[in-house]
Amino acid sequence: MDRRKFLGVGLVAFAAIVMPGTDLSAVDFRETMPQAWEVEKTVDGIKALYGNGALKESGKFSFKAPKLAENGGSIPITITSSLDLESIALFQDANPRCLSCVFSVPVGAIIDYDFRIKMRQTAVVTVVGKERGTGTLYTSSKEIDVSIGGCGG
């Protein structure tokens, strides 16, 4: 990639992050945690967003995803949980940066989130949930095979 162009693009993105946001956001993670969005690897991404706490697996926290995705540009993911979580994040190792999205869960909400992500190659997808109050971190991960990569190639 053209280095100058890359830097320029980066600057634009950076400007978008640091610019004062509107008052409607409760927690806009792109503003409060700008560094977490630039991390490449999942392990480091989790640390950047949630700190060094131990990760626990739980039957009450899981997500659904296809084992083999035909189209990496659109992989359906469903996160469900009966725990009282404060926030949920999805990481993958397929793209240049690992963080795909962070949900901040309102109090008393039903956790059943359905959305689609892009992955440019086969990789492990990890979701991490932070419990309200205790701050316990729950995790669940799956490898998703991608036959045609997303992100425009």
Partner 1 sequence: MFKLDHKSILIGASVVASTALLLTGCLSSSSSTNEKTPAKVQANALAGPYTGKIGAIDGGVIYPRENGMYTAYVLNEQSTKGINHGRVPTANEIKAWDLDALPDGTGLPEGEGSVEEGDELYEAQCASCHGDFGGGGHGYPQLAGGNQSKDENGIVITLKNQREYGKTDAPKRTVGTYWPVATTLFTYIRDAMPYATPKSLSNDEVYAITAYILAQNYIKIDGEVMDDEYVLNAEKLAKVVLPNKDGFYPNIDGPTGPDDVKAFYADRAKNIGSGTRCMTDCKDPGGQDGKTEATLVRIDYEMSDVVPPYSTVRDLPPEVEDVTISKAEKMYNESCKVCHANDNMGAPALGDADAWEDVMDNGFDQVLRNAIDGMGGMPPKGGNDSLTSDEVKSIVEFMINSSK
Partner 2 sequence: MAKMKIKAKEKKGVVKVKAMFTSLMADKEEAVKKGISPSYIRYIVAKVKDAVVYEVTMSGFMSENPLVKFEFKGKKGDKIAFTTIDNDNKTETETEKIK
Q: Are 43 and 51 in contact (CB under 8 A)?
A: no
CB of 38 to partner 2, least distance (A): 10
Q: What is the DSSP string of 31-48?
A: HH-GGGGG--SHHHHHHH
Identify which of residues 16 and 43 has a Cβ nearer to partner 2 in the complex.
16
CB of 145 to partner 1, least distance (A): 6
110 binds, among partner 1, partner 2, none (CB under 5 to 8 A by kind): partner 2
CB of 116 to partner 1, least distance (A): 7
Identify which of residues 18 and 56 has a Cβ nearer to partner 2 in the complex.
18
Single-letter amino acid, residue 108: G
* Helix locations, 38-120, DSSP H: 42-50
CB of 111 to partner 2, least distance (A): 9
Q: Which string of b and e fits 65-101 if b means at least 16 CB within 10 Å?
A: beeebeebbebebebebebebbbbbbbbbbbeebbbe
| Binding map of partner 1 across residues 128-147, x = CB under 8 A, - = no contact | -----------------x--
19 binds, among partner 1, partner 2, none (CB under 5 to 8 A by kind): partner 2
